Amino acid sequence: MTFNRRQFLGSVSGAALGSFIPFADAFAADGPIKVGSVLDNSGNLDIYGKPMVMATTLAVDEINAAGGLLGRKLQAIQYDTQSDIALYTKFAQQLVRQDKVDVVHGGITSASREAIRQTFTRSNTLYFYNVLYEGGVCDRNTVVTGTTPAQAVEPLIETAMKQWGKKVYVLAADYNYGQITAKWIDFYVKARGGSVAKTEFFALDVADFGSTIAKIQQEKPAFVVSALVGGAHMSFYRQWAASGMNKKIPLAATVFGAGNEQLALSAAEGDGILITGNYSQELQNASNKNFLAKWAKRFGDTKQVHEIAVSQYQGVMLWAECVRKAGSLERNAMLKAIESGVSIEGPSGTVSIDPKTHHAALDINVMEVKGQKLTIKSTSKQRQPSDTGRSCDLIKNPKENKQFEVTV
């Protein structure tokens, strides 16, 4: 990893965390409600995973401090997948077969999500995927609380094209997220009369972007859009700045900032990158101020807090609200609650489940990196997951279970 761990990461560790929360002596007859998670607490994606583990712990602690749910305490059972898909599969099966959890909040990459989603669907174990992604998952057993391209990528492209021009060069991670997001970028650019000069894909372990920077110099696009992901890909931003190109061609990014990547770069390297997302620590609402205060009290500071951690926290809180509304953990009662359009006020603002897609309607911020902070330029309230909604209608087709790919 090229990230500074001391800057980002908390002190949650262990190959199989099994982070069981202490309980009072007396329990309801049914025992604790079990909340499972499978996340990269170590490995190449731990910049995202460690804060998500911390967010899960904070949410469960907070719910227990308020009396639990249905008169029962919660028990968090968390496993470290070490950025290994085989471990995702193993621990997903363990959560279902041995731990018999009531819900799972986990997965980071689209590959990890698809490696475990069917395990939870087959076992009727509700699954919350709390990470921004490429859209299209249509599964009544799955709830998605992260942003989709229609929510975040579209306003990013619209703002960037208005500021900088119509010729775009695209860089993307070479797996589901990058490949499908690149198609959406192409769609949104062309819908606004622009053109994509070239799209390049990079494996997650690629860290040398010298030849790509030379190609971009030759193409002379109005701006570059990055859908790069993870530690190795951070090298692009450093190399871009070192080449002096950050002073010549502006950058927009679909993931940058969601894992506090701006803290891994100096201000000179990161300033000016345009992003969109559901969360910034700069949000001034009361829920965010309260959340940051609780995080700092629990973990010592707020350096680890990023959009994906907040999305995980909000996912747990949204599930808890569904439990309260259902008055039961029984699956059909929970599905009825989920499809009632339940919502919460989270650190990012209002988070509401769209009954048709089981995705979240979210507030979206257009932001610029300035001085290692995500400065909010504008906010669109309650953007819908309209990309997934083009193909997915779980009210009409409750047995649907697939990921629709974008067609443009």
Pair type for strands 349-354 and 359-370: antiparallel
For the chain, give the mean pLDDT: 92
Helix axes 110-122, 85-97, angle to 10 degrees: 20
pLDDT at 18 exceeding the cut of 50: no
Residue 210 shares a structural domain with residue 222:
yes
Residue 345 lies in a domain: yes
- Cα distance between residue 205 and residue 183, in whole Å: 22
Rg of the chain over Cα atoms, rounded to whole angstroms, equals: 20
Residue 143 shares a structural domain with residue 154:
no
pLDDT at 125 exceeding the cut of 70: yes
pLDDT at 36 exceeding the cut of 80: yes
Residue 161 shares a structural domain with residue 132:
no
What range does the domain containing 108 cover?
5-148+283-362+383-403
Q: How far is CA 117 from CA 17, 111, 114, 138, 353, in A?
A: 21, 10, 5, 11, 19
Q: Mean pLDDT over residues 360-367, rounded? A: 97
Indicate the pLDDT class of residue 29, thresholds 50, 70 and 90.
very low
Neighbours of 265 (CB within 10 A): 18
Closest CA to 16 of 113, 81, 76: 81
Q: What are phi and psi of 377, to 5 degrees?
A: -95, -40
Residue 328 lies in a domain: yes
Residue 14 lies in a domain: yes
Q: Both tokens of residue 9?
A: 């990461």
Residue pair 202/233 in contact by the 8 Å Cβ criterion: yes
- Cα distance between residue 225 and residue 228, in whole Å: 9
Residue 60 shares a structural domain with residue 108:
yes
pLDDT at 17 exceeding the cut of 60: no
Residue 373 lies in a domain: no
pLDDT in tens, 177-207: 999 999 999 999 999 999 999 999 999 899 9
Residue 23 shares a structural domain with residue 141:
yes
Q: What is the pLDDT of residue 164?
A: 98
Residue 314 shares a structural domain with residue 398:
yes
pTM: 0.89
- Cα distance between residue 270 and residue 370, in whole Å: 7
Q: Which residue has the higher pLDDT, 8 or 256?
A: 256
Closest CA to 113 of 57, 54, 55, 175: 175
Query: Which of 249, 277, 305 is the last residue in one of the domains?
Result: 277
Residue 236 lies in a domain: yes
Q: Mean pLDDT over residues 242-269, rounded? A: 94
- Cα distance between residue 291 and residue 307, in whole Å: 13
Q: What is the pLDDT of residue 232?
A: 84
Q: Mean pLDDT over residues 271-287, rounded? A: 95
Query: Which of 243, 277, 311 is the last residue in one of the domains?
Result: 277
pLDDT at 1 exceeding the cut of 50: no
Closest CA to 76 of 55, 90, 93, 97: 55
Q: How far apart are the first and last CA of the chain?
A: 36
Residue 262 lies in a domain: yes
Query: Which of 227, 249, 277 is the last residue in one of the domains?
Result: 277
Neighbours of 61 (CB within 10 A): 15
Q: What percent of the chain has pLDDT over 70?
A: 92
Pair type for strands 126-129 and 103-105: parallel
Q: What percent of the chain has pLDDT over 90?
A: 88
pLDDT in tens, 211-244: 999 999 999 999 999 999 988 899 999 999 999 9
Q: What is the pLDDT of residue 176?
A: 87
Residue 236 shares a structural domain with residue 317:
no
Residue 9 shares a structural domain with residue 67:
yes
Indicate the pLDDT class of residue 408, thresholds 50, 70 and 90.
low
CATH value at residue 172: 3.40.50.2300
Q: What are phi and psi of 161, to 5 degrees?
A: -65, -35
Q: Which residues of 360-378 are buried (b: 16+ CB within 10 A; e: fewer)?
A: bbbbbbbbbbeeebbeeee
- Cα distance between residue 45 and residue 334, in whole Å: 31
DSSP state letters, 302-330: STT--HHHHHHHHHHHHHHHHHHHHTS--
pLDDT at 14 exceeding the cut of 80: no
Residue 130 shares a structural domain with residue 155:
no
Number of domains within the chain: 2
> Count of residues for the chain?
408
pLDDT in tens, 308-326: 999 999 999 999 999 999 9
Indicate the pLDDT class of residue 168, thresholds 50, 70 and 90.
very high
- Cα distance between residue 169 and residue 163, in whole Å: 15
Burial of 205 (0-12, 13-18, 19+ CB in 10 A): exposed
Residue 32 shares a structural domain with residue 101:
yes
Residue 69 shares a structural domain with residue 193:
no
- Cα distance between residue 303 and residue 15, in whole Å: 23
Q: Mean pLDDT over residues 70-94, rounded? A: 97
Residue 169 shares a structural domain with residue 259:
yes
In whole angstroms, what separates CA 400 from the centre of its chain? 23
